[in-house]
Structure 1
Amino acid sequence: MSNVTYDFSGQVALVSGAAAGLGLATAKAFAASGAKVALVDIDEGALQAAVKGLREEGREVLGICCDVSDDRQVKEMVEKTVKTFGRLDAAYNNAGIVPRATDFTEILQSDYDRLMAVNLKGVWSAMKYELLQMESQGSGTIVNCSSLAGLVGGYGRPGYHAAKHGVVGLTRSVGMEYAARGIRVNAVCPGTMVTPQVMRMSESNDLDLELVEKSVPIKRMGRAEEIADAVLWLCSSGSTYVIGQALAVDGGYTTQ
């Protein structure tokens, strides 16, 4: 677990894809740092379990079931957060899906469209409504979840790489546009982390974890808490001059 501490007392954070993995670790970190947190996920059962666990720890949290590919649901997600907690200070747009590795010519249009709807349009939609609220307040921070796949190419998942490159492009452009309005927008680009999703990929032989570890300079996979640390730093007063950046948290993979 992280030894880094931040103070988000009196602030409100929203985290999508918060029922497990990177999102849950980040929601926990925000809550432990004093923030009121809206946890958002499409998996209602897992979401309610996560909310219950945090409430048992005395955290002030809200669970919102939402499909981020649906613009109406995303609008309601932000409205419910503000209605419940009064404002929105920080958002981590983390919800995403990872397709099974396949040859480029075998990708189905329906799968490609769904991938883009969640991983790219979902970020666009979330930012739109988060920015409207933050601009009315005069301040706020947004961190989008891209990936090392948003910084380099790769085999087997070209649509995923395209979507994550798109997230970086959105982040840089919107970061420039809103910097003078008191709102900071950045992205975090995780490497291969130890998460339930990655473990499922390994179990289905869609990912070779031994090969992953050998390919990373630090020679290990990352922990979800290491992404949470990066997100909280990007949302904190310690990064007030950081605008439109795509921060690689990947054990050195993209430095090679």
Structure 2
Amino acid sequence: MQTRNKIYFASDFHLGAYPLEKSVEREKVIVQWLDAIKHDANELYLVGDIFDFWFEYATVVPKGYIRFLGKLAELADLGIKLTFFKGNHDMWMFGYLKKELNARIIDNELILNLDGKSFYIHHGDGLGPGDEKYKFLKKIFRSSLCQWLFARLHPNLGIGIATRWSKHSRVSSNAPENFLGEDNEWLIQYSKEVLKAQHYDYMIYGHRHVPYDILVNNSTQIVNLGEWINHRTYAVWDGDKLSLQQWS
């Protein structure tokens, strides 16, 4: 039996995004990937926007994702530690995944020490300069009042609204995004500001749908995990190095 000594990072599956048939195809591919990594994975970090929409009512969760959730349950039963980050599409995670999968739920950033190396991990939404409108909306959407009010809606209405909204998101176009250059990528600029106060060996993000792996300050590796609509990229820590890879 292989030793489970690797740590995997992935984000932005956007399961449930319009068109639904594309989401189902993507889910099957993701399940194939999860089935492949279960033999050597010690931990799996899902760094936000795993679902295009997620809201946990007291007794109801969104329909679908049965293959994906079933495979995660298998991984959890094998002893693989699961960590979910709240993204801007699935920020309304509460206790369901923790109860069913023993998963850890992260609201914002997570700072880790792995094999003597420091890691800073965040979905990436609301960081860096600009996008003040979203930063304002994020505070509202994450407020307990907003969540309480949404929970008062019947699931058919609440999830129906979210499904219609999904048709107008950037994911529905399936168009790949382009790398803007180190000086114009706002997560890289944010990272450089953070590094002025605190050194990290690795900084890992999702949210920005462009996979990249760059070295800044000759010492910090910044990885954006990309997405699984066009790129199917993920990162692996093997105890010595962090590599950005693509699933084919």
State whether TM-score is above 0.5.
Answer: no
TM-score of the aligned structures, taking structure 2 as reference length:
0.36
Select the structure that is richer in strand: 2
Structure showing greater relative contact order (alpha-carbon pairs closer than 8 Å, 6 or more residues apart): 2
